[in-house]
Structure 1
């Protein structure tokens, strides 16, 4: 599932809009803006509150009532600014300080005093719910949270999540880890998150998209030197806005490669079939399938363009690989001796490859490294490859995808909400496409075929993986317009063809 994301400032370059940062890096940017550029901390806080209030006005223009939950740090200070601006705009405002105002310090204390000086009132209790307001502002916990939420704060977050109105989080939903995108026990489910100075990478992968809702970014008027003061730790992949290069009029099928799909053991032939059609739909010139003899003759009955071969020995597979450009191995492969022998034969060839599904499960049993392949595990497969639990994979997906790339070489794709792509530079890229309807059988097989098809047409390894992930998710988003429930992998075929021809 991708995160809806937009930028409030038009001054920002496209490259910066894609940069993602750890929380400590954004704090360093904040200090740079204050200490080096000379923007006062309270001025940044006021700008943050103003950007958040502008987002409220834009998103929920008819709202007349607003409540704000204020913690004891700068996140709470931002909320006090929003509350003051809402009060000054004539809204009915209620503020609930979770940390006593007497404990506030620095800029947060100034923001609180500004709110009180404007005539704003404070409620000294936390209600069981907030049904009296249309918009609820989450200013409870900021980006520095690194341990599980408990006690009063957990109770407040649960109360927020019972609220039936609109929830806006400031900088990051309280309880969400800013670096990893994992919920620390319990986290606020926001419909809108307004984040400041630098994009926090946890908003875009794992549980982040579920809790953040739409992400709006505000630079707070900081100059470019602020963003250049630290290096990003990840990047967003750009949205799929155009297809592949226009083909020359003299083109023939040999110009666009030959994909060989290896898989489809008895009972799993559909996986190989879907991967093969996906490679064809994104434009590969020729598609072959190496599969079990028992069903090779029937596998292409509804798609006669696919060349299906019954293969029972490595020798038979080698003859097919001699004519191939790219290998896609794993869809429906199984874990039998037949599967192991075919995978060994693929590993012995120098052809670029895409490995998925049971090829990865076999790889976990016999790890090997390769420079010219793309591996595409989901969290369960990644856990087996790294010999950890799937929970540990999801706890820090950025760390997991880097380890996959380091251990197995080539390019690693960690599938899931906010799929990650990591190549030789070690900088993970995060997908912005996809939706929960794609959580169904066969979607990974389609992705394997998409990446293999792009490789066959000349894309380099990393580009094929990155473009393939975005294209696959974009096709899923288009197919989901008819509804996420019941979305099938085969429903992506027509959108794939349309999108590569934009």
Structure 2
């Protein structure tokens, strides 16, 4: 199952439990039937990804996640595989459907061993059925030992529903977590699978609906959505540059000319009709000579820029802006108007100082900038990225884009999660390009929400395409430019 085959809807752990309850109580699907379907879906992935494997070990905890593991063990034995089941809890602690799954597993001839830290794992496949979505504290004790053993093995690791130790709502590790090659998520995709630490722990994500009726999902609203690409409409044959908007990029204090040049070019590459760069006089000629399509205006005093601002449809405030008196004057002049405005980099730092609120803002902080906006530590931001992006949006208004692995986009009504992009993007200038992409879409008439959401998708997808062609390591922000153009066409 590839990215486009996954559902867009993402749910919290509580919402998935409500979906499960609704299917059982309102649609009369027995809980054990759902457990058997879950086990079958995982075993099908074992056969698909490891068709030559003859042995597997299954780690089981004490909840329904363990019940899924016992179903998988029974199916693997029936298929002729050599199966070892390790349990970290006494069978007497199992209840309900998980207990029934255990008994059926024993009846099939499977032997269940208490996990011992001295156990040697030599099987080809490991199934992680230790902990599910209900985890609410740090992993410790025998569970932590078992997770360490799984991660130290050379087996192909499949996580049942979610890698054990990963928080289903935030994507953060709860002390330690299983590093899976594949995660099979049931009923509803968990929102924590796509942000925080999750990209390093989930591997490939496969979705199994367990044949839940669509009507079940009508009863529970999702918590977030994965970004879905909306192909920009074809242009009128009679279009001219005035139809495609005028972006004004403000920034580039002494020594920081590259940031606004990249932001300005990115806006042009996604289709803005005109882009003006407002910067230090020392930079204007340099930028214009390297990218003549950018109109460059040098400014010494901020008092004379009102006419330039009035001529623009969209403002970009912050790339290379700096923290000088010159920078502060430009920030104050730009934020006096209520035009659509993308604020990034030092524009965000000035915003954190001023505390201004604006529903016309699109804010694009990385975790460090987010921590300054929220007056907290970076670790607090990363502890719950969903909470952080919502807090910034409430405090400063508009749309907030919290960058990072699993970028989040939030407005008053929605949260979107990006599952595009790669580690090669961890280099200077990538944020400036994103800012320009969002502004370029804004200039062409997309809403603030559409510009932020689609801008993140196009930016990440361009980086992925560039990485396919040349690799992640050494990827430069300017390498994205030709791919941006292709994606919007």
One fold, TM greater than 0.5?
A: yes
Matches for 1:291-302 after TM superposition, within 5 Å: 291-302=279-290
Matches for 1:166-181 after TM superposition, within 5 Å: 166-181=156-171
Q: Paired residue for 1:361, among 331, 343, 349?
A: 349
The runs of 5 or more residues in structure 1 that have no matched partner are 9-16
Q: Paired residue for 1:154, among 144, 147, 152?
A: 144
Matches for 1:120-269 after TM superposition, within 5 Å: 120-128=110-118, 131-238=121-228, 240=229, 243-269=231-257
The answer to whether the 8 A contact 1:6-1:216 is kept is no
Separation of aligned partners in 2, 1:428 and 1:88: 44
Aligned to 2:104: 114
User: Can you list the C-alpha shifts for 1:43-65, whole angstroms capped at 9, x where unaligned?
Assistant: 11000000111111112222221
Matches for 1:85-124 after TM superposition, within 5 Å: 85-124=75-114
Separation of aligned partners in 2, 1:181 and 1:222: 25
Separation of aligned partners in 1, 2:283 and 2:187: 57
The answer to whether the 8 A contact 1:263-1:333 is kept is yes
The answer to whether the 8 A contact 1:130-1:160 is kept is no
Separation of aligned partners in 1, 2:2 and 2:444: 30
SS at match of 2:135: coil
The answer to whether the 8 A contact 2:122-2:155 is kept is no
User: Can you list the C-alpha shifts for 1:55-77, whole angstroms capped at 9, x where unaligned?
Assistant: 11112222221110000110011
Kindly state the Cα deviation for residue 218 of structure 1 after the two structures are TM-superposed.
0.8
How many residue pairs get aligned? The number is: 488
Aligned to 1:472: 459
Aligned to 2:57: 67
Kindly state the Cα deviation for residue 131 of structure 1 after the two structures are TM-superposed.
3.8
Matched, 1:375 2:363: yes
SS at match of 1:178: coil
Aligned to 1:27: 17
Aligned to 2:373: 385
User: Can you list the C-alpha shifts for 1:417-462, whole angstroms capped at 9, x where unaligned?
Assistant: 111111121x211012111110111000000000000000110110
Separation of aligned partners in 2, 1:341 and 1:129: 66
Aligned to 1:422: 410
SS at match of 1:421: strand
Q: Paired residue for 2:421, among 424, 429, 434?
A: 434
The answer to whether the 8 A contact 2:115-2:146 is kept is no
Q: Paired residue for 2:323, among 326, 331, 335?
A: 335
SS at match of 1:495: helix
The answer to whether the 8 A contact 2:89-2:114 is kept is no
Kindly state the Cα deviation for residue 278 of structure 1 after the two structures are TM-superposed.
0.3
SS at match of 1:445: helix
The answer to whether the 8 A contact 2:186-2:207 is kept is yes
TM-score (norm 1): 0.95
Matched, 1:401 2:363: no
Kindly state the Cα deviation for residue 495 of structure 1 after the two structures are TM-superposed.
0.4
Separation of aligned partners in 1, 2:457 and 2:203: 19
Separation of aligned partners in 2, 1:288 and 1:363: 22
Aligned to 2:444: 457
Separation of aligned partners in 2, 1:156 and 1:4: 30
Distance 1:41 1:355, change over 3 A: same
SS at match of 1:206: coil
Separation of aligned partners in 2, 1:479 and 1:300: 26
Q: Paired residue for 2:432, among 445, 467, 472?
A: 445
Kindly state the Cα deviation for residue 5 of structure 1 after the two structures are TM-superposed.
4.1
Kindly state the Cα deviation for residue 245 of structure 1 after the two structures are TM-superposed.
1.0
The answer to whether the 8 A contact 1:4-1:213 is kept is no
CA-atom RMSD in angstroms: 1.4
Distance 1:6 1:192, change over 3 A: farther
The runs of 5 or more residues in structure 2 that have no matched partner are none
Separation of aligned partners in 2, 1:437 and 1:457: 29
Separation of aligned partners in 2, 1:130 and 1:343: 62
Separation of aligned partners in 2, 1:328 and 1:271: 11
User: Can you list the C-alpha shifts for 1:457-490, whole angstroms capped at 9, x where unaligned?
Assistant: 1101100000000000000100111111111101
SS at match of 1:301: helix
Separation of aligned partners in 2, 1:109 and 1:130: 27
Name which structure has the greater RCO, CA cutoff 8 Å, separation 6+: 1
Separation of aligned partners in 1, 2:320 and 2:116: 54
Distance 1:446 1:269, change over 3 A: same
Separation of aligned partners in 1, 2:461 and 2:329: 36
Separation of aligned partners in 1, 2:149 and 2:374: 38
